[in-house]
Amino acid sequence: MGAPTVASIFGQLRLAAMSATALRHTVLPGARRRERCAIETLYREHNDALMRFLRNRLRNEADVREVAQEAYCRLLQVKGSCEPVFLRAYLFRIAGNAATDLQRRRALMQRRDEAVDDIEEASQERALVARETLALVDRALAGLPVRCREAFVLSREREWSTIEIGAHLGVSDRMVRLYLIRALDHILAATEA
């Protein structure tokens, strides 16, 4: 059994977006044989430690594999040669940063979802309060004398002036204002109780 190739390394990581062949042709064309060997050696000797490191941070196997895959892909894109000792430290740094980024994205998404839930809950509460208040206003209007109620409805719903309401009801402008004051006092008393 020979040394694992880059294709077998990423085959084990189950790359979803790129096949191992596509990865060899897109990511590695400028990589020298020595760099490939260093990364293959790094994978063979330190992948188990990397996976344990990520499991301790993420505690979800799918996330561990995703972050490990991302770390290896980023490492493969590094131009220039590095000593194998530095590659291990760099790989772990990349993986740690990728894990932190994933956790931050998840926390941000969770906070956003909670905020949306809070807004929806508050909207439902406001709608319920508005319906209850409207029912109180309707009951209060029903308890008013007919002319007082009619003056209020014409003022609020049809937006008539007090002069127009007075002409319609056959009363003075001053009497219409008294009707409106009485209606408002009655409605306020009913809704505050």
- The pLDDT assigned to 24 comes to 43
Domains detected in the chain: 6-110 (no CATH), 143-192 (1.10.10)
- The pLDDT assigned to 174 comes to 93
- The pLDDT assigned to 84 comes to 57
pLDDT tens column, 35-66: 667 778 888 888 999 999 999 999 889 999 99
Spans of the chain, pLDDT less than 50: 1-4, 6-31
Q: Which residues contact 98 (CB under 8 A, 6 or more apart)?
A: 67, 70, 71, 74
- The pLDDT assigned to 111 comes to 86
- The pLDDT assigned to 35 comes to 66
- The pLDDT assigned to 32 comes to 55
- The pLDDT assigned to 117 comes to 83
Residue 95 CB-density burial (10 A; 0-12 exposed, 13-18 middle, 19+ buried): buried
Q: Are 149 and 183 in contact (CB under 8 A)?
A: yes
- The pLDDT assigned to 94 comes to 92
The upper half-sphere exposure of residue 59, i.e. CA atoms within 13 Å in the direction of its Cβ, equals 1
Q: What whole-number distance in Å separates Cα of residue 98 and Cα of residue 50? A: 13
Q: Is 160 left (phi over 0), alpha (psi -120 to 50) or beta?
A: beta
* Predicted TM-score (pTM) of this structure: 0.49
- The pLDDT assigned to 50 comes to 93
Q: Which residues contact 163 (CB under 8 A, 6 or more apart)?
A: 173, 176
